[in-house]
Amino acid sequence: MTSIHTLSELLQGSGCHYAIYDLGRRLNAISQTQFSNIEAGKSPYPYPLQRKAHLAIAYWNDTKQPWIWFLKFDLDERGLLQPGDIGQFLHYVFEAMGSRLSGDLSQADQQKLANNPFTYKPTEDKLAVFHSQLRTQLKMPTSAYYEHAQHYLSGQLGWENWQTVGLQGISDVCARLDSEQNSVLVRKALPHLPTEPRYALLGALEHGVINETLAKRVIELAEFEIDQASPDLFLIAAYLRALSGADAKLCLPLVSRILNAPELAHPEILIAIAGRSWHWLALDGMAEPFLIALANGQRPALFQQVFADLVMLPPLRLILLPLLHSSPSPQLAQALQNLQQSTRGQEA
């Protein structure tokens, strides 16, 4: 037991199959090799959110009935996990389960393992998406809500009759876009959906890969909303989040249009980009207009919070810091000056 110092060693030594995901921003798989390097301090955590790692670790035996840990760990200023936290969590595991993982825990042991500072409960929508994608990966049956969600999205039940459609069923459909014509089903349904099921569907799309045809439909709907006399900025933000798994080249014209329109650069939209589609900002020319829009909002606390969060992401650190501190463009310099004046005005 004393020779086990990392979660990777524990999982590998137990003879289990296992998979690791980030749940902080959008559902992202982390390979076993990548996670081993993260635990060893060789690599920063790839998807930090508010300087924390939000992990889902699933492990299973040949029966393919997975056990799941949802864990949250603090990161240091370099984005690295802190070995002491891993060791402390392992101590809780050893107390409850011993040095080999087993699903046979007493109620008291389950409670002992659950009561530690590193476990957390994801939001309901992320839980639904995670379970759907894990079932898909393990080729397990869908939830009981899947077929009903398919039936509703076909339009046969009537678009207003969404109250009996489960969030888990919608997540199951979105986790299986490449089978049973689900992608076509979603694409045709989107323009007709009332507000509640539309937001639920877009939320499930945030965490997967969507093909070009479906992405073009989402972009088309976003542009339609932008062209309205009083566009719904929250709906536009939801469309942007849903596009986070699409080909970036398809999305950049829409993103550029939004960032260059002050009336659209609402905090909800900027947070959607930063939280779900941060990888767009690593592409040529996208980081600067984002920072300008963020600064022009004259919300100093929001700017500081979003910038501090984004700069922790490994692909963005070397892009954002020079933009802010080394001869920013006249437009960015002016936006930052306006932000500083706004800060002074609020303090006065």
> What 3-state class would DSSP assign to 74?
strand
pLDDT tens track, the chain, 348 positions:
458 889 999 999 888 899 999 999 999 999 999 999 999 999 999 999 999 999 999 998 887 788 899 999 999 999 999 989 999 999 888 887 776 676 565 666 667 777 889 999 999 999 999 999 999 999 999 999 999 999 999 999 999 999 999 999 999 999 999 999 999 999 999 999 999 999 999 999 999 999 999 999 999 999 999 999 999 999 999 999 999 999 999 999 999 999 999 999 899 999 999 999 999 999 978 999 999 999 888 788 898 899 999 999 999 998 988 887 776 778 888 877 777 776 655 554
Structural domain boundaries of the chain?
7-114, 139-347
Residue 263 is encoded by which pair of tokens?
């009336």
Distance CA 43, CA 28 (A): 16
178's tokens: 């490449």
Q: What is the pTM of this model?
A: 0.91
Which H/E stretch holds residue 344?
helix 330-347
Measured CA to CA in angstroms, residue 197 lies from 85, 171, 175, 271 at distances of 40, 11, 16, 22
Dig out the tokens for 279 from the structure.
């990888």
Q: Closest Cα to residue 32, out of 12, 52, 3, 51?
A: 12
Q: Alpha carbon 182 to chain centroid distance?
A: 22
How far is 174 from 210, CA to CA, in rounded Å? Answer: 9
Please tell me the distance from the alpha carbon of residue 272 to that of residue 168, in angstroms, as a whole number. 23
